[in-house]
């Protein structure tokens, strides 16, 4: 619906009063903005702003087109160089001109085992060569990885990266940490290890990840950290521990008893993941902690250490817990420890009011005693919960 006809009608029927009003308004507007300052001055200002804005728009227009043109040329050049360097590197590490790796990398099988001076000296080819080198190194193992590392050292990339560790631009520091850690450059260890407390968060992330990978005592940094340890950083440490240190991981007891809650929570998870049975006593003591997060994490982790002692303590904790959520957490942790002796205890739980608690108890009862008559023990209004529990183990609800 267009509004225009309505206004035309309005104007045609009320021309006289509108005209009168408009004349009066016109007198008034003489007192307003265009006369508050000299009109010419105002128009001059507006002209200046308009010209400035149009100039900016033109500048953005040209800058965008030039940027795209340069990027497209660069992309085309990078594509050619990628092909060339991948071929070169694959030949170099395999030691033969036509090798099966070409097929894997989707390359043509012509030999190109030579590089020009420009490939090493000019910025773009040098950068592309490094990117390919690092990418290939990331996906290979064994002797080939070692050969690529030698190439990396030989062409002076390590020296540049070591310099970049002190660069002003944090993104250069981040990139340098990443590649030095990947290439395991020992000269960089000390500098990288100190960057775990850098003022820039992404630098800290990368340094923590690198240190977890390179340090022979990867957990030692936990007592040096000045900033809180985020789950993001915890992931990097965990991954490094799994890949590089799972065989010789020291006891986590020390870290379970520090004051910082973030470190304690992290150490608790690690204790469970790496099955450190010497931590069980401390974990049991954590059930009495004031912090809800620590208590919940302790319950969850203790579920991974099935034993009569843990079971007894968890059941005691269940009785003492005031929140249904905490009780449910305990019940879930007890899953692998329950047996037919617990039938009565689980039957008693069926009379609870909490939906999750009843469903979990019924599910466990069904698992440990297929013949248990659950329908008799549950009130009719909870029949739906019971059916859910019975289907839960079949369908992973």
Partner 1 sequence: MIWNILNYIVDFFELGVFFYCNGILLSYWIISIVSFKEVKKYRKDTQNEHFDELLSSPFLPSISIIAPAYNESVTIVDNIRSLLSLHYSKLTVIVVNDGSKDETLQTAIDAYDLEKVNWAYDMKVKTKNVRGIYKSKNPSFSKLIFVDKENGGKADAINVGVNVSSSQYFACIDVDCIIEQDAFLKLVRPIMRNTKERIVAVGGIVWLTNDSEVKQGKLIDLKMPRQFIPRMQVLEYFRAFLLGRTAWSKFNGLLLISGAFGIFDREIVLEAGGYRHDTVGEDMELVMRMHALMRERKEAYRVAYIPDPLCWTEAPGDYKILGRQRNRWTRGTIECLLFHKKMFFNKKFGALGWISYPYWLFAEWLAPHVEFFGLIFFFLMALFGFANWHFFFYMIFLVYAMALSISTFAIFTQERTYGSYTRISDLLKIFGTAAVEAFTYHPRTVKWSLKGNWDFFTGKNNGWGEMTRAGFQKKG
Is 74 an interacting residue with respect to partner 1 (CB under 8 A)?
no
Among 111, 304, 315, 387, binds partner 1 (CB under 8 A): 387
Among 9, 38, 54, 159, binds partner 1 (CB under 8 A): 54
Q: Which is nearer to partner 1, 45 or 103 (CB)?
A: 45
Considering beta carbons, is residue 313 or 328 the nearer one to partner 1? 328
What CA–CA distance (Å, rounded) separates 103 from 110? 12
- Choose one: 43-51, 119-127, 147-155, 189-197; the region binding partner 1 (CB under 8 A): 43-51
Which residues are CB-contacts of 389 (< 8 A; sequence separation ≥ 6)? 358, 359, 360, 361, 362, 363, 366, 374
177 within 8 A of 192, measured Cβ to Cβ: yes
> What residues between 198 and 217 interact with partner 1 by CB under 8 A?
201-202, 205-206
Binding positions for partner 1, 157-186, rule CB under 8 A: 170-171, 174-175, 178
User: Smallest distance from the beta carbon of 340 to partner 1, in angstroms?
Assistant: 25
Distance between CA 386 and CA 309 in Å, rounded?
A: 30
61 forms part of the interface with partner 1 (CB under 8 A):
yes
Stretch that binds partner 1, among 16-24, 77-85, 96-104, 110-118 (CB under 8 A): 16-24
Closer by beta carbon to partner 1, 205 or else 342: 205
DSSP state of 249: P
Contact residue for partner 1 among 21, 109, 223, 251 (CB under 8 A): 21
How many CA atoms are closer than 13 Å to the CA of 374, on its beta-carbon side? 26
Decide if residue 60 touches partner 1 (CB under 8 A). Answer: yes
The DSSP code sequence of 5-67 is HHHHHHHHHSHHHHHHHHHHHHHHHTTSHHHHS-HHHHHHHHHHHHHHHHHHHHHHHHHHHHH
Q: Which of 39, 150, 187, 293 binds partner 1 (CB under 8 A)?
A: 39
**Complex with partner 1: residue 286 or 313, whichever CB lies closer:** 286
Q: How far is the CB of 118 from partner 1 (least distance, A)?
A: 26
The reply to whether 3 sits near partner 1 by the rule CB under 8 A is yes
DSSP tag of 169: S
Residue 273 lies near partner 1 (rule: CB under 8 A): yes
- Asked if residue 195 binds partner 1 (CB under 8 A), the reply is no
Minimum distance of partner 1 from residue 36's CB (angstroms): 8
Q: Which is nearer to partner 1, 20 or 257 (CB)?
A: 20
**Pairwise CA distance, residues 177 & 134, whole Å:** 13
Contact call for residue 50 and partner 1 (CB under 8 A): yes
Q: Is 49 in the site for partner 1 (CB under 8 A)?
A: yes
CA angle 183, 142, 96 (to 5 degrees): 100
Quote the Cα angle for 274-279-283, to 5°. 110
Total length of the chain: 397
**Site size for partner 1 (CB under 8 A):** 74
Q: Is 175 helix (H, G, I), strand (E, B) or coil?
A: helix
115-123, 153-161, 313-321, 387-395 -> range binding partner 1 (CB under 8 A): 387-395
Counting contacts by CB under 8 A, is residue 345 touching partner 1? no
Task: Work out whether 16 is an interface residue with partner 1 (CB under 8 A).
Answer: no
Please, what sign has the CA dihedral across residues 330, 332, 335, 338?
Answer: positive
Question: Are 350 and 374 a contacting pair, CB within 8 Å?
Answer: yes
Specify the DSSP element, H or E, that contains 210: helix 201-214
Does position 139 bind partner 1 by CB under 8 A? no
* DSSP symbol at 303: T
Residue pair 266/219 in contact (Cβ under 8 Å)? The answer is: no
**Which positions from 225 to 254 touch partner 1 by CB under 8 A, shown as an x/- string?**
---xxxxx-xxx-xx--x------------
């Amino acid at each position: 619906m267009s509004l225009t006809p309505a206004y035309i009608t309005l104007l045609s029927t009320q021309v006289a009063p509108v005209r009168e009003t408009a004349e009066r308004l016109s007198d008034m507007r003489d007192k307003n903005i265009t006369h508050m300052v000299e009109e010419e001055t105002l128009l001059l200002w507006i002209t200046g702003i308009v010209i400035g804005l149009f100039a900016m728009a033109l500048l953005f227009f040209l800058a965008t087109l030039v940027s795209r043109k340069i990027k497209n040329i660069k992309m085309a050049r990078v594509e050619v160089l990628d092909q060339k360097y991948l071929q070169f590197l694959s030949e170099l590490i395999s030691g033969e001109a036509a090798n099966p790796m070409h097929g894997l990398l989707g390359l043509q099988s012509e030999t190109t085992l030579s590089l020009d001076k420009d490939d090493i000296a000019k910025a773009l080819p040098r950068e592309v060569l490094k990117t390919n080198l690092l990418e290939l190194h990331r996906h290979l193992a064994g002797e080939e990885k070692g050969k690529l590392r030698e190439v990396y050292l030989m062409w002076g990339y390590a020296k540049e990266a070591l310099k970049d560790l002190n660069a002003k631009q944090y993104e250069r520091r981040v990139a340098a940490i990443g590649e030095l850690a990947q290439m395991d450059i020992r000269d960089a260890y000390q500098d990288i290890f100190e960057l775990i407390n850098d003022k820039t968060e992404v630098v800290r992330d990368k340094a923590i990840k690198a240190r977890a990978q390179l340090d022979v005592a990867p957990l030692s940094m936990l007592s040096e950290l000045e900033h809180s340890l985020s789950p993001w950083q915890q992931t990097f440490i965990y991954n490094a521990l799994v890949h590089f240190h799972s065989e010789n991981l020291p006891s986590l007891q020390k870290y379970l008893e520090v004051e910082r809650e973030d470190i304690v929570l992290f150490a608790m998870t690690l204790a469970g993941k790496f099955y450190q049975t010497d931590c069980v006593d401390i974990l049991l003591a954590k059930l009495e902690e004031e912090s809800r997060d620590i208590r919940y994490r302790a319950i969850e982790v203790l579920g991974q250490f099935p034993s009569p002692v843990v079971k007894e303590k968890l059941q005691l904790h269940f009785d003492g817990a005031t929140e249904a959520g905490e009780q449910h957490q305990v019940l879930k942790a007890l899953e692998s420890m329950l047996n037919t002796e617990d039938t009565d205890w689980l039957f008693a739980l069926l009379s609870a009011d909490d939906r999750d608690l009843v469903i979990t108890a019924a599910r466990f009862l069904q698992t440990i005693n297929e013949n248990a008559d659950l329908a008799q023990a549950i009130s009719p209004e909870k029949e739906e919960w019971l059916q859910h529990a019975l289907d839960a183990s079949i369908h992973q609800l």
